[in-house]
Structure 1
Amino acid sequence: MLAPVDEVVSWGEMLDNLLECKTGQLVFEEFLRTEYSEENLLFWLACEEYKKTSHPTEMNAAAKRIYSEFVEVDAPRQINIDCATRAEIGERLPQPGPKCFDRAQRLIHTLMENDCYPRFLKSEIYQDLLEQVEQE
């Protein structure tokens, strides 16, 4: 599952480089799992998929699934967002639009960028992978 060296190096430059790459997502998720915080990435990815949904019935179902899995209080993978954002999503849920989760997704992106991502860059998982690809 090794990625090209320039790709792995680019993950260290900014979080978005990591998130745009399937392999990067998997490696980051593996790291987050060690910190018991993979729900942040899984929520962010679910929101990215949600934005690609255009059919109202599918959008409705996807919004309810994301809400029950990540947003509502005591959700199995509850994300750490403020109660105003949580309430705003709850209000939009009956008729969710493409931007239903935008505010929460931005909050989670910022949280990952400032919290998990710097630790990921210092982690054994990333450092070992970087070393591996640079030796090839």
Structure 2
Amino acid sequence: MTATGPDFLALQVLDLEAAAQFFEQHLGLTRAPSGPPGAIVFTTSPIPFAVREPLPGVDLDAAAPRPGFGVAVWLAVEDADALHERLVRAGVQILGAPSDSPFGRMVSFVGPEGYALTAHTAAPSGPTAP
């Protein structure tokens, strides 16, 4: 059997509601009408995205230097520069100024509970995000 690629993406968080509000307020995501217990799923495509309570055995308080360290989470946005401006106005910690990459215009920032996230506007022609 061979995997065909990512099918679902979820960030484990301690404060489920605060994390969901971050993605709604700053990235404009919309909650799906329903989801599994302990999770808030958003209406994203092509891959469903959610925030969820930690799975058994996951200690987010012990995550160093931050949860998800070493994992790259990229979210597609219509305008990375406009998102950067919105995040700065909201006081969100920016990890890098908007810049061009092989995947398009990108900006990296700190999301809920310290997750490092990157938002990018796809290049007109070229590779998709890693």
Normalising by structure 1, report the TM-score: 0.26
The structure that is strand-richer by fraction is: 2
With CA pairs under 8 Å and 6+ residues apart, which has the higher RCO, 1 or 2? 1
Q: TM-score, normalised by structure 2?
A: 0.27
